[in-house]
Protein backbone atom coordinates (compact mmCIF):
# COMPACT_ATOMS: atom_id res chain seq x y z
CA UNK A 1 0.00 0.00 0.00
CA UNK A 2 2.60 2.52 1.09
CA UNK A 3 0.16 5.39 1.57
CA UNK A 4 -1.14 5.18 5.11
CA UNK A 5 0.04 6.45 8.44
CA UNK A 6 -0.79 6.85 12.13
CA UNK A 7 -0.77 3.45 13.69
CA UNK A 8 0.85 2.32 16.93
CA UNK A 9 1.62 -0.74 19.00
CA UNK A 10 1.35 -1.19 22.76
CA UNK A 11 2.69 -3.86 25.11
CA UNK A 12 2.93 -4.57 28.83
CA UNK A 13 4.89 -6.99 31.00
CA UNK A 14 4.72 -8.09 34.62
CA UNK A 15 7.68 -10.32 35.57
CA UNK A 16 7.94 -10.68 39.38
CA UNK A 17 11.47 -11.05 40.65
CA UNK A 18 13.21 -10.04 37.43
CA UNK A 19 13.69 -7.15 35.03
CA UNK A 20 10.82 -6.80 32.55
CA UNK A 21 12.76 -4.49 30.22
CA UNK A 22 14.34 -7.19 27.99
CA UNK A 23 10.85 -8.65 27.41
CA UNK A 24 9.39 -5.21 26.69
CA UNK A 25 12.24 -4.41 24.31
CA UNK A 26 11.68 -7.63 22.37
CA UNK A 27 7.92 -7.15 22.24
CA UNK A 28 8.42 -3.63 20.92
CA UNK A 29 10.73 -4.98 18.22
CA UNK A 30 8.07 -7.55 17.32
CA UNK A 31 5.58 -4.67 17.00
CA UNK A 32 7.97 -2.53 14.97
CA UNK A 33 5.80 -2.91 11.86
CA UNK A 34 3.13 -0.89 13.68
CA UNK A 35 5.39 2.10 14.20
CA UNK A 36 8.90 3.17 13.23
CA UNK A 37 8.80 6.90 13.96
CA UNK A 38 9.18 6.68 17.74
CA UNK A 39 9.39 4.24 20.63
CA UNK A 40 9.43 4.30 24.39
CA UNK A 41 8.89 2.37 27.60
CA UNK A 42 7.94 3.22 31.18
CA UNK A 43 8.82 0.98 34.14
CA UNK A 44 8.11 0.79 37.86
CA UNK A 45 10.67 0.08 40.59
CA UNK A 46 9.73 0.99 44.18
CA UNK A 47 13.39 0.87 45.23
CA UNK A 48 14.36 3.52 42.70
CA UNK A 49 14.39 7.20 43.58
CA UNK A 50 12.31 7.85 40.48
CA UNK A 51 9.73 5.13 41.07
CA UNK A 52 8.20 5.52 37.62
CA UNK A 53 10.66 6.13 34.81
CA UNK A 54 10.22 6.69 31.08
CA UNK A 55 12.69 6.38 28.22
CA UNK A 56 11.51 7.50 24.78
CA UNK A 57 12.51 9.37 21.65
CA UNK A 58 12.02 9.39 17.90
CA UNK A 59 13.37 6.53 15.80
CA UNK A 60 13.07 2.77 15.58
CA UNK A 61 13.21 0.61 18.69
CA UNK A 62 16.89 -0.18 18.13
CA UNK A 63 17.73 3.49 17.53
CA UNK A 64 15.91 4.56 20.68
CA UNK A 65 17.54 1.92 22.84
CA UNK A 66 21.17 2.17 21.75
CA UNK A 67 21.41 1.50 18.03
CA UNK A 68 23.89 -1.18 16.99
CA UNK A 69 25.77 -0.90 20.28
CA UNK A 70 24.65 -4.00 22.20
CA UNK A 71 26.41 -2.69 25.29
CA UNK A 72 24.44 0.54 25.02
CA UNK A 73 21.17 -1.38 24.74
CA UNK A 74 21.98 -3.40 27.84
CA UNK A 75 22.96 -0.25 29.76
CA UNK A 76 19.62 1.42 28.98
CA UNK A 77 17.61 -1.70 29.82
CA UNK A 78 19.46 -1.99 33.12
CA UNK A 79 18.97 1.70 33.87
CA UNK A 80 15.24 1.25 33.20
CA UNK A 81 15.09 -1.92 35.33
CA UNK A 82 11.70 -2.73 36.82
CA UNK A 83 9.53 -5.79 37.23
CA UNK A 84 6.54 -4.18 35.50
CA UNK A 85 6.39 -1.86 32.53
CA UNK A 86 4.72 -0.76 29.31
CA UNK A 87 6.06 -0.17 25.80
CA UNK A 88 4.91 1.75 22.74
CA UNK A 89 5.86 2.04 19.07
CA UNK A 90 4.58 4.97 17.09
CA UNK A 91 4.02 6.03 13.52
CA UNK A 92 4.52 9.59 12.39
CA UNK A 93 1.93 12.34 12.26
CA UNK A 94 1.11 14.91 9.63
CA UNK A 95 3.19 17.52 11.45
CA UNK A 96 6.57 17.48 13.13
CA UNK A 97 7.34 14.62 15.48
CA UNK A 98 9.52 15.26 18.51
CA UNK A 99 10.37 13.20 21.57
CA UNK A 100 7.59 15.05 23.42
CA UNK A 101 5.04 13.50 21.05
CA UNK A 102 6.41 9.98 21.49
CA UNK A 103 4.61 7.72 23.96
CA UNK A 104 4.34 6.69 26.74
CA UNK A 105 3.23 10.03 28.15
CA UNK A 106 4.21 10.40 31.80
CA UNK A 107 2.51 12.66 34.32
CA UNK A 108 4.76 13.19 37.33
CA UNK A 109 3.07 13.94 40.65
CA UNK A 110 4.10 14.03 44.29
CA UNK A 111 1.23 11.70 45.19
CA UNK A 112 2.09 8.22 43.94
CA UNK A 113 -1.51 7.44 43.02
CA UNK A 114 -1.58 10.45 40.70
CA UNK A 115 1.79 9.70 39.10
CA UNK A 116 1.25 7.60 35.97
CA UNK A 117 2.34 6.89 32.42
CA UNK A 118 0.34 5.50 29.52
CA UNK A 119 0.39 4.82 25.81
CA UNK A 120 -2.42 4.06 23.41
CA UNK A 121 -3.14 2.73 19.93
CA UNK A 122 -5.92 4.38 17.96
CA UNK A 123 -7.48 7.78 17.48
CA UNK A 124 -10.08 9.75 19.42
CA UNK A 125 -12.88 10.83 17.08
CA UNK A 126 -14.44 13.34 19.50
CA UNK A 127 -11.17 15.02 20.37
CA UNK A 128 -12.35 18.59 19.68
CA UNK A 129 -15.24 18.21 22.10
CA UNK A 130 -12.94 16.70 24.73
CA UNK A 131 -10.43 19.53 24.33
CA UNK A 132 -13.16 22.12 24.90
CA UNK A 133 -14.44 20.35 28.00
CA UNK A 134 -11.02 19.80 29.58
CA UNK A 135 -10.05 23.44 29.01
CA UNK A 136 -13.25 24.49 30.79
CA UNK A 137 -11.99 22.48 33.78
CA UNK A 138 -8.83 24.59 33.84
CA UNK A 139 -6.41 22.24 32.06
CA UNK A 140 -3.90 23.60 29.55
CA UNK A 141 -2.92 21.87 26.29
CA UNK A 142 0.60 22.30 24.91
CA UNK A 143 0.78 19.65 22.20
CA UNK A 144 -1.39 18.98 19.15
CA UNK A 145 -2.17 15.36 20.04
CA UNK A 146 -5.08 13.40 21.43
CA UNK A 147 -2.63 11.62 23.76
CA UNK A 148 -2.22 14.79 25.81
CA UNK A 149 -5.99 15.21 25.99
CA UNK A 150 -6.35 11.65 27.28
CA UNK A 151 -3.61 12.25 29.85
CA UNK A 152 -5.56 15.15 31.33
CA UNK A 153 -8.76 13.08 31.46
CA UNK A 154 -6.88 10.31 33.24
CA UNK A 155 -5.62 12.89 35.73
CA UNK A 156 -9.09 14.34 36.22
CA UNK A 157 -10.74 10.96 36.82
CA UNK A 158 -7.97 9.69 39.10
CA UNK A 159 -8.54 12.75 41.28
CA UNK A 160 -12.30 12.27 41.15
CA UNK A 161 -12.26 8.58 42.10
CA UNK A 162 -9.43 8.40 44.59
CA UNK A 163 -7.48 6.34 42.06
CA UNK A 164 -9.90 3.38 41.86
CA UNK A 165 -8.79 2.21 38.43
CA UNK A 166 -11.86 0.25 37.37
CA UNK A 167 -13.92 3.38 37.94
CA UNK A 168 -11.30 5.55 36.25
CA UNK A 169 -11.47 3.42 33.10
CA UNK A 170 -15.26 3.29 33.26
CA UNK A 171 -15.41 7.08 33.29
CA UNK A 172 -12.86 7.28 30.48
CA UNK A 173 -15.12 5.05 28.38
CA UNK A 174 -17.98 7.52 28.84
CA UNK A 175 -15.76 10.36 27.58
CA UNK A 176 -13.97 8.75 24.66
CA UNK A 177 -15.37 8.02 21.21
CA UNK A 178 -13.11 6.16 18.81
CA UNK A 179 -10.40 3.54 18.88
CA UNK A 180 -8.28 3.42 22.01
CA UNK A 181 -6.39 0.41 23.27
CA UNK A 182 -4.43 1.58 26.30
CA UNK A 183 -1.47 0.49 28.41
CA UNK A 184 -1.34 2.22 31.81
CA UNK A 185 1.15 2.10 34.69
CA UNK A 186 1.32 4.15 37.88
CA UNK A 187 3.68 4.78 40.78
CA UNK A 188 1.59 2.50 43.02
CA UNK A 189 2.69 -0.46 40.90
CA UNK A 190 -0.61 -0.86 39.05
CA UNK A 191 -0.42 -2.14 35.47
CA UNK A 192 -3.48 -2.16 33.20
CA UNK A 193 -4.24 -2.71 29.53
CA UNK A 194 -7.69 -2.01 28.13
CA UNK A 195 -9.52 -2.45 24.83
CA UNK A 196 -12.08 0.08 23.67
CA UNK A 197 -15.78 -0.93 23.80
CA UNK A 198 -16.00 -1.31 20.01
CA UNK A 199 -12.89 -3.49 19.76
CA UNK A 200 -11.66 -1.54 16.75
CA UNK A 201 -8.02 -2.48 17.42
CA UNK A 202 -6.82 -5.95 18.51
CA UNK A 203 -5.36 -6.65 21.96
CA UNK A 204 -4.21 -9.97 23.44
CA UNK A 205 -2.58 -11.32 26.59
CA UNK A 206 -0.88 -14.41 27.99
CA UNK A 207 0.22 -15.79 31.36
CA UNK A 208 3.26 -18.08 31.53
CA UNK A 209 5.79 -19.19 34.09
CA UNK A 210 7.79 -16.08 33.13
CA UNK A 211 5.00 -13.69 34.07
CA UNK A 212 2.04 -11.96 32.42
CA UNK A 213 2.16 -10.09 29.14
CA UNK A 214 -0.13 -8.14 26.80
CA UNK A 215 0.34 -6.68 23.34
CA UNK A 216 -1.47 -5.23 20.35
CA UNK A 217 -0.77 -8.41 18.40
CA UNK A 218 -0.13 -12.04 19.22
CA UNK A 219 3.17 -11.96 17.29
CA UNK A 220 4.63 -10.01 20.23
CA UNK A 221 3.53 -12.74 22.67
CA UNK A 222 4.79 -15.83 20.79
CA UNK A 223 8.22 -15.71 22.44
CA UNK A 224 6.42 -16.35 25.73
CA UNK A 225 4.16 -19.06 24.30
CA UNK A 226 1.57 -19.73 21.62
CA UNK A 227 -0.94 -21.65 23.74
CA UNK A 228 -3.59 -20.10 25.98
CA UNK A 229 -3.39 -16.63 24.41
CA UNK A 230 -6.40 -14.61 25.49
CA UNK A 231 -8.00 -12.15 23.07
CA UNK A 232 -9.13 -9.30 25.28
CA UNK A 233 -12.78 -8.48 24.69
CA UNK A 234 -14.10 -5.05 23.69
CA UNK A 235 -14.72 -3.05 26.86
CA UNK A 236 -12.49 -5.37 28.90
CA UNK A 237 -9.49 -4.33 31.00
CA UNK A 238 -6.71 -6.63 32.14
CA UNK A 239 -4.87 -5.96 35.40
CA UNK A 240 -1.40 -7.53 35.31
CA UNK A 241 -0.38 -8.31 38.89
CA UNK A 242 2.02 -10.76 40.55
CA UNK A 243 2.63 -12.54 37.27
CA UNK A 244 -1.08 -13.18 36.68
CA UNK A 245 -3.96 -11.33 35.02
CA UNK A 246 -7.37 -10.29 36.31
CA UNK A 247 -9.98 -9.42 33.68
CA UNK A 248 -12.73 -6.91 34.39
CA UNK A 249 -15.37 -5.25 32.26
CA UNK A 250 -14.95 -1.47 32.47
CA UNK A 251 -17.45 -0.53 29.75
CA UNK A 252 -20.57 -1.95 28.22
CA UNK A 253 -19.67 -3.65 24.97
CA UNK A 254 -20.83 -1.69 21.94
CA UNK A 255 -21.19 -3.02 18.41
CA UNK A 256 -18.04 -5.11 17.81
CA UNK A 257 -16.16 -3.33 15.04
CA UNK A 258 -12.71 -4.83 14.46
CA UNK A 259 -10.92 -2.90 11.70
CA UNK A 260 -10.71 -5.10 8.59
CA UNK A 261 -7.45 -3.39 7.59
CA UNK A 262 -5.73 -5.13 10.48
CA UNK A 263 -6.05 -8.41 8.58
CA UNK A 264 -5.22 -7.06 5.14
CA UNK A 265 -2.36 -4.71 5.89
CA UNK A 266 -1.42 -3.54 9.37
CA UNK A 267 -1.03 -6.70 11.41
CA UNK A 268 1.96 -9.00 11.11
CA UNK A 269 1.28 -11.94 8.81
CA UNK A 270 2.17 -14.20 11.76
CA UNK A 271 -0.49 -12.76 14.07
CA UNK A 272 -3.87 -14.12 15.05
CA UNK A 273 -6.60 -11.53 15.59
CA UNK A 274 -9.56 -12.49 17.73
CA UNK A 275 -9.02 -16.13 16.77
CA UNK A 276 -8.41 -15.62 13.04
CA UNK A 277 -5.10 -16.09 11.23
CA UNK A 278 -3.86 -13.06 9.32
CA UNK A 279 -1.88 -15.29 6.95
CA UNK A 280 -4.83 -17.52 6.08
CA UNK A 281 -7.04 -14.47 5.57
CA UNK A 282 -4.60 -12.95 3.09
CA UNK A 283 -4.40 -16.26 1.22
CA UNK A 284 -8.18 -16.31 0.89
CA UNK A 285 -8.10 -12.74 -0.46
CA UNK A 286 -5.90 -14.02 -3.29
CA UNK A 287 -8.34 -16.84 -3.99
CA UNK A 288 -11.24 -14.39 -4.07
CA UNK A 289 -9.39 -12.15 -6.52
CA UNK A 290 -8.76 -15.17 -8.76
CA UNK A 291 -12.51 -15.83 -8.89
CA UNK A 292 -13.14 -12.48 -10.58
CA UNK A 293 -10.08 -12.38 -12.87
CA UNK A 294 -10.95 -11.40 -16.45
CA UNK A 295 -7.65 -11.85 -18.31
CA UNK A 296 -6.78 -15.01 -20.25
CA UNK A 297 -3.63 -15.91 -18.34
CA UNK A 298 -1.04 -18.49 -19.35
CA UNK A 299 2.37 -19.68 -18.12
CA UNK A 300 4.26 -18.29 -21.10
CA UNK A 301 3.37 -14.59 -21.32
CA UNK A 302 2.29 -13.70 -17.81
CA UNK A 303 3.83 -13.19 -14.41
CA UNK A 304 2.14 -12.47 -11.05
CA UNK A 305 4.04 -10.36 -8.53
CA UNK A 306 3.20 -8.85 -5.13
CA UNK A 307 3.99 -5.40 -3.82
CA UNK A 308 6.17 -6.34 -0.81
CA UNK A 309 5.56 -7.27 1.86
CA UNK A 310 1.92 -7.71 2.85
CA UNK A 311 0.70 -8.82 -0.59
CA UNK A 312 2.96 -11.88 -0.84
CA UNK A 313 0.49 -14.49 0.45
CA UNK A 314 -2.28 -12.78 -1.54
CA UNK A 315 -0.38 -12.97 -4.84
CA UNK A 316 0.89 -16.51 -4.20
CA UNK A 317 -2.57 -17.90 -3.54
CA UNK A 318 -3.95 -15.90 -6.50
CA UNK A 319 -1.55 -17.65 -8.89
CA UNK A 320 -2.30 -21.06 -7.37
CA UNK A 321 -6.06 -20.50 -7.57
CA UNK A 322 -5.72 -19.65 -11.26
CA UNK A 323 -3.98 -22.98 -11.79
CA UNK A 324 -0.67 -21.31 -12.68
CA UNK A 325 1.48 -21.47 -9.51
CA UNK A 326 4.71 -21.24 -11.53
CA UNK A 327 3.98 -17.69 -12.71
CA UNK A 328 4.24 -16.30 -9.16
CA UNK A 329 7.50 -14.36 -8.91
CA UNK A 330 9.22 -11.75 -6.79
CA UNK A 331 9.41 -8.91 -9.30
CA UNK A 332 9.79 -6.09 -6.77
CA UNK A 333 12.25 -6.05 -3.89
CA UNK A 334 11.85 -3.70 -0.93
CA UNK A 335 15.21 -2.05 -0.34
CA UNK A 336 14.25 1.04 1.67
CA UNK A 337 13.75 1.17 5.43
CA UNK A 338 10.30 0.88 6.93
CA UNK A 339 6.90 1.32 5.34
CA UNK A 340 6.38 4.20 2.96
CA UNK A 341 3.00 5.14 4.40
CA UNK A 342 4.66 6.42 7.58
CA UNK A 343 6.72 8.94 5.62
CA UNK A 344 5.85 12.56 5.02
CA UNK A 345 6.71 14.69 2.03
CA UNK A 346 7.15 13.47 -1.55
CA UNK A 347 5.62 9.99 -1.50
CA UNK A 348 6.55 9.27 -5.11
CA UNK A 349 10.25 9.88 -4.45
CA UNK A 350 10.15 7.70 -1.36
CA UNK A 351 8.42 4.91 -3.29
CA UNK A 352 11.15 5.07 -5.92
CA UNK A 353 13.78 4.66 -3.22
CA UNK A 354 11.95 1.89 -1.40
CA UNK A 355 11.59 -0.63 -4.24
CA UNK A 356 13.91 -2.15 -6.82
CA UNK A 357 12.48 -4.12 -9.78
CA UNK A 358 13.96 -7.34 -11.17
CA UNK A 359 14.09 -6.84 -14.97
CA UNK A 360 14.79 -10.53 -15.66
CA UNK A 361 11.36 -11.32 -14.21
CA UNK A 362 9.47 -8.42 -15.77
CA UNK A 363 11.00 -7.67 -19.17
CA UNK A 364 8.56 -8.30 -22.02
CA UNK A 365 5.96 -9.85 -19.72
CA UNK A 366 2.33 -9.09 -19.05
CA UNK A 367 2.45 -8.40 -15.33
CA UNK A 368 -0.31 -8.78 -12.78
CA UNK A 369 0.78 -6.77 -9.76
CA UNK A 370 -1.17 -7.39 -6.56
CA UNK A 371 -1.39 -5.04 -3.61
CA UNK A 372 -3.55 -4.86 -0.50
CA UNK A 373 -5.16 -1.50 -1.33
CA UNK A 374 -5.09 1.76 -3.24
CA UNK A 375 -5.67 4.87 -1.17
CA UNK A 376 -4.38 8.00 -2.90
CA UNK A 377 -2.86 6.12 -5.90
CA UNK A 378 0.57 7.79 -5.67
CA UNK A 379 2.38 4.61 -4.65
CA UNK A 380 0.81 2.36 -7.27
CA UNK A 381 1.22 4.92 -10.04
CA UNK A 382 4.94 5.17 -9.30
CA UNK A 383 5.36 1.40 -9.12
CA UNK A 384 3.58 0.80 -12.43
CA UNK A 385 5.11 3.65 -14.42
CA UNK A 386 8.64 3.68 -13.01
CA UNK A 387 9.53 0.31 -11.48
CA UNK A 388 7.59 -2.10 -13.67
CA UNK A 389 7.50 -0.39 -17.06
CA UNK A 390 10.35 2.10 -17.25
CA UNK A 391 13.01 0.14 -15.33
CA UNK A 392 11.58 -3.39 -15.38
CA UNK A 393 10.54 -3.40 -19.03
CA UNK A 394 7.08 -4.91 -18.50
CA UNK A 395 4.96 -5.14 -21.65
CA UNK A 396 1.65 -4.60 -19.81
CA UNK A 397 0.69 -4.08 -16.17
CA UNK A 398 -2.66 -5.18 -14.73
CA UNK A 399 -3.37 -4.12 -11.15
CA UNK A 400 -5.36 -6.28 -8.72
CA UNK A 401 -6.33 -4.96 -5.30
CA UNK A 402 -7.27 -7.14 -2.31
CA UNK A 403 -9.72 -4.63 -0.85
CA UNK A 404 -12.76 -2.88 -2.32
CA UNK A 405 -12.42 0.80 -3.30
CA UNK A 406 -11.70 3.11 -0.36
CA UNK A 407 -14.28 5.89 -0.59
CA UNK A 408 -14.26 7.51 2.86
CA UNK A 409 -11.88 8.77 5.56
CA UNK A 410 -10.91 6.88 8.71
CA UNK A 411 -11.53 8.58 12.04
CA UNK A 412 -10.06 5.77 14.12
CA UNK A 413 -6.32 5.96 13.55
CA UNK A 414 -5.45 5.56 9.87
CA UNK A 415 -4.20 8.62 8.03
CA UNK A 416 -7.04 8.87 5.52
CA UNK A 417 -8.63 11.98 6.92
CA UNK A 418 -10.37 13.64 3.97
CA UNK A 419 -12.51 12.57 1.06
CA UNK A 420 -10.44 14.74 -1.30
CA UNK A 421 -7.26 12.68 -0.94
CA UNK A 422 -8.92 9.32 -1.76
CA UNK A 423 -8.72 8.41 -5.43
CA UNK A 424 -11.99 6.40 -5.39
CA UNK A 425 -14.11 8.79 -3.31
CA UNK A 426 -15.38 10.83 -6.26
CA UNK A 427 -16.71 7.61 -7.84
CA UNK A 428 -18.85 6.63 -4.85
CA UNK A 429 -22.09 6.71 -6.84
CA UNK A 430 -20.50 4.36 -9.40
CA UNK A 431 -19.72 1.71 -6.77
CA UNK A 432 -22.18 -0.90 -5.49
CA UNK A 433 -21.08 -3.33 -2.75
CA UNK A 434 -17.49 -2.66 -3.68
CA UNK A 435 -18.10 -3.30 -7.39
CA UNK A 436 -16.90 -0.30 -9.37
CA UNK A 437 -18.35 0.21 -12.83
CA UNK A 438 -16.09 -0.07 -15.87
CA UNK A 439 -15.90 3.66 -16.58
CA UNK A 440 -14.64 4.48 -13.07
CA UNK A 441 -12.14 1.60 -13.09
CA UNK A 442 -10.82 2.76 -16.47
CA UNK A 443 -10.32 6.29 -15.13
CA UNK A 444 -8.31 5.09 -12.13
CA UNK A 445 -6.39 2.55 -14.23
CA UNK A 446 -5.34 5.38 -16.53
CA UNK A 447 -4.32 7.48 -13.53
CA UNK A 448 -2.01 4.72 -12.27
CA UNK A 449 -0.67 3.90 -15.77
CA UNK A 450 -2.15 0.39 -15.78
CA UNK A 451 -3.82 -1.54 -18.60
CA UNK A 452 -6.57 -2.75 -16.26
CA UNK A 453 -7.68 -2.58 -12.63
CA UNK A 454 -9.82 -4.91 -10.53
CA UNK A 455 -10.77 -4.47 -6.85
CA UNK A 456 -11.99 -7.20 -4.53
CA UNK A 457 -15.72 -6.87 -3.79
CA UNK A 458 -17.36 -6.50 -0.37
CA UNK A 459 -18.73 -10.02 -0.70
CA UNK A 460 -15.32 -11.44 -1.57
CA UNK A 461 -13.65 -9.57 1.31
CA UNK A 462 -16.17 -10.85 3.85
CA UNK A 463 -15.73 -14.42 2.59
CA UNK A 464 -11.96 -14.06 2.94
CA UNK A 465 -12.31 -12.67 6.47
CA UNK A 466 -14.86 -15.30 7.46
CA UNK A 467 -16.70 -12.63 9.42
CA UNK A 468 -20.04 -10.88 9.35
CA UNK A 469 -20.10 -7.23 8.30
CA UNK A 470 -21.79 -6.37 11.60
CA UNK A 471 -18.65 -7.43 13.51
CA UNK A 472 -16.27 -5.29 11.48
CA UNK A 473 -15.40 -1.68 10.86
CA UNK A 474 -15.44 -1.20 7.08
CA UNK A 475 -16.47 2.45 7.23
CA UNK A 476 -13.79 3.54 4.76
CA UNK A 477 -15.51 1.23 2.24
CA UNK A 478 -19.18 1.92 2.92
CA UNK A 479 -19.41 4.94 5.30
CA UNK A 480 -21.08 2.87 8.05
CA UNK A 481 -19.18 4.27 11.04
CA UNK A 482 -19.59 2.40 14.33
CA UNK A 483 -19.34 5.36 16.74
CA UNK A 484 -21.50 8.49 17.11
CA UNK A 485 -18.60 10.91 16.62
CA UNK A 486 -17.49 9.04 13.51
CA UNK A 487 -21.00 9.25 12.09
CA UNK A 488 -21.19 12.99 12.73
CA UNK A 489 -17.75 13.63 11.20
CA UNK A 490 -18.84 11.68 8.13
CA UNK A 491 -22.05 13.68 7.80
CA UNK A 492 -20.27 17.03 7.97
CA UNK A 493 -17.26 16.11 5.85
CA UNK A 494 -19.24 14.29 3.16
CA UNK A 495 -21.61 17.21 2.82
CA UNK A 496 -18.62 19.52 2.31
CA UNK A 497 -17.01 17.11 -0.17
CA UNK A 498 -20.21 16.70 -2.18
CA UNK A 499 -20.56 20.46 -2.40
CA UNK A 500 -17.00 20.81 -3.68
CA UNK A 501 -17.68 18.17 -6.36
CA UNK A 502 -20.81 20.01 -7.52
CA UNK A 503 -18.79 23.20 -7.86
CA UNK A 504 -16.20 21.61 -10.13
CA UNK A 505 -16.40 22.81 -13.76
CA UNK A 506 -17.76 20.34 -16.29
CA UNK A 507 -14.99 18.30 -17.94
* Domain ranges within the chain, ordered by starting residue: 8-254, 278-502
**Do the beta carbons of residue 262 and residue 106 sit within 8 Å?**
no
pLDDT of residue 398: 98
Count other Cβ atoms within 10 Å, centred on residue 172: 21
Count other Cβ atoms within 10 Å, centred on residue 137: 9
Mean pLDDT by 10 residues, the chain (507 residues): 68 98 98 95 97 96 84 92 97 68 97 97 96 96 94 98 97 98 98 98 97 98 96 98 98 94 96 98 98 97 96 98 97 75 61 95 98 96 97 98 98 92 96 96 98 98 97 98 98 96 71
pLDDT of residue 253: 83
CATH topology of domain 278-502: Rossmann fold (3.40.50)
Give CA separation, 48 vs 15, 75, 79, 302, in Å: 17, 16, 10, 64
Give CA separation, 175 vs 126, 164, 319, in Å: 9, 17, 48
Closest CA to 206 of 9, 23, 8, 17: 23
DSSP string of 99-125, one letter each residue = TTTSSPEEE--SSGGG-EEEEEEEEET
pLDDT of residue 338: 52
pLDDT of residue 506: 55
Question: Dihedral of CA 428/431/437/442: which sign?
Answer: positive
Return the axis-axis angle of helices 278-291 and 312-321, rounded to nearest 10°: 40
Q: pLDDT tens across 203-219, in order?
A: 999 999 999 999 999 99
pLDDT of residue 97: 80
Count other Cβ atoms within 10 Å, centred on residue 359: 13
**Do the beta carbons of residue 453 and residue 445 sit within 8 Å?**
yes
Give CA separation, 296 vs 149, 279, 325, in Å: 55, 28, 15
pLDDT of residue 18: 96
Strand partners, 15: none
Q: pLDDT tens across 379-435, in order?
A: 999 999 999 999 999 999 999 999 999 999 999 998 898 999 999 999 999 999 999
Return all residues near 104 (Cβ < 8 A) that are at least 6 apart. Answer: 40, 41, 42, 54, 56, 86, 87, 88, 117, 118, 119, 183, 185
pLDDT of residue 3: 55
What are the two backbone dihedrals, phi and then psi, of residue 347, each rounded to the nearest 5 degrees?
-65, -40
Element (H, E) at 30: helix 21-30
> Of residues 8, 14, 219, 476, which has the active-site annotation?
8
Query: 8-254: which CATH number, 3.30.420.10, 3.60.20.10, 3.60.10.10, 3.40.50.2000?
Result: 3.60.20.10
Q: Is 473 a catalytic residue?
A: no
Amino acid sequence: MGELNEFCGICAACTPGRNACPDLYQMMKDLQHRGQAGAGMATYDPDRKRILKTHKRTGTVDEVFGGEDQGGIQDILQEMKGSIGIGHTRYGTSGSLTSRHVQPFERVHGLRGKWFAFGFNGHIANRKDLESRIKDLGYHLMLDTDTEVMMHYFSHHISGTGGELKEVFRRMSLDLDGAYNMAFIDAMGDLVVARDPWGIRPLSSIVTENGSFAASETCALYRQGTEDIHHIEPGEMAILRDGGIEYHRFAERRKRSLCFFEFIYFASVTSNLDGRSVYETRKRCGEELARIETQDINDRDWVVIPVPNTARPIANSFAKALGHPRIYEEGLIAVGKGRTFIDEGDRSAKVRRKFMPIPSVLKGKKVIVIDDSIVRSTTMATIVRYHLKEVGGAKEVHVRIATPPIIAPCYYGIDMRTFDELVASRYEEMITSGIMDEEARSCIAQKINAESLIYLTHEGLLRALGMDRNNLCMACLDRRYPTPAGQELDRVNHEHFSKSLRELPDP
